[in-house]
A and B are shown apart, each in its own frame.
Chain A
Amino acid sequence: MKIYVPGDSAAISVGADDVAAAIAHKVTGATIIRNGSRGALWLEPMVEVETEKGRVAYGPVSVEDIDSLVAADFMHGGTHKLSLGESEKIEWLASQDRVTFKRVGIIDPLSLSDYEAHGNRGWDRDECAFH
């Protein structure tokens, strides 16, 4: 079970570290990924979970919300007062065509395998030389 809690400075300034710690404490078996913020800062900390229909978002989440989120089974996309629906369908995000910030918020910024899994090989010098 993958749960995304942004680890950028803006999200941290509104408690993302505490939210990530609370989720780690309350949800057993969760892999918490500290992604970048997708930029919708008014929704930060915006927590996302990976579900069968794609990533589902909740926000802005505070430590006090974690118990009710767990009760609503947010780990599997359950409905909660902070539900934002599927991340990709949030209107402000869906209307954007991202270029330089294409991967921010999507992948674990410190994971090369995650970077590769999204079709990127830019870090590989030999690959670059041939393409």
Chain B
Amino acid sequence: MKYSTWSQEAALAVLATLREEKGAVLMALQALQKEFGYVHKEDVTLVANFFNKSRADIHGVLTFYHDLLTEAPTENQISVCVAEACQAVGSRQLEKDAKAKFGKEVHDGYCFGNCALGPCAMVNGAILGRASVEKIAQARI
């Protein structure tokens, strides 16, 4: 996935598109991540000023959602579901094996709503049912 390089001006341009929205902190963080691939540490101050909130408010939202990244993403983004249904069909082992093979690309996920076809993983936004390390490897870029 190609992202723009972060700069304060570019971040403010993204926020400007949300000027008419009320209470759009989460939307703003999502929009920034969509543009730059992650939420830059200086974005916290920019978003706080833009919406007239405290930096603590923005930090709270940013760290609450696991899908919001605070570091530039790896080329592939892999989430292995470790919620109950997938755990029951071996996702902890899959997560361990995937982390051993793909390292920092792998994160925990918490239910993709595909419980009947677990264990599930998500690779670059695409959900894999009956996931295995081999299937994840095939789905990577």
Contact = CB atoms under 8 A, between A and B. Distances in A.
24 contacts: A9-B113, A9-B114, A9-B127, A10-B114, A10-B116, A10-B117, A10-B129, A12-B127, A13-B114, A13-B117, A13-B120, A13-B126, A13-B127, A13-B128, A13-B129, A14-B117, A14-B128, A14-B129, A14-B130, A41-B116, A41-B117, A42-B116, A44-B117, A44-B129
The list of the 4 closest CB pairs from A to B, nearest first, reads A13-B129, A41-B116, A14-B129, A13-B127
Given A13-B127, A14-B130, 9 more contacts: A9-B113, A9-B114, A9-B127, A10-B116, A13-B126, A13-B128, A13-B129, A41-B116, A41-B117
Contacts of A44: 117, 129
Interface string A14-25: 100000000000
Interface of B: 113-114, 116-117, 120, 126-130
Interface of A: 9-10, 12-14, 41-42, 44
Contacts of B116: 10, 41-42
B57 to A, nearest CB: 34
B54 to A, nearest CB: 38
A41 B127 CA distance: 15
Nearest to B128: A13
Contacts of A10: 114, 116-117, 129
Contacts of A14: 117, 128-130
Nearest to A39: B116
Contacts of A42: 116
Contacts of B130: 14
A10 B113 CA distance: 9
A90 B113 CA distance: 25
Nearest to B127: A13
Nearest to B116: A41
Contacts of A12: 127
A59 to B, nearest CB: 13
Nearest to A60: B130
Contacts of B127: 9, 12-13
Contacts of B114: 9-10, 13
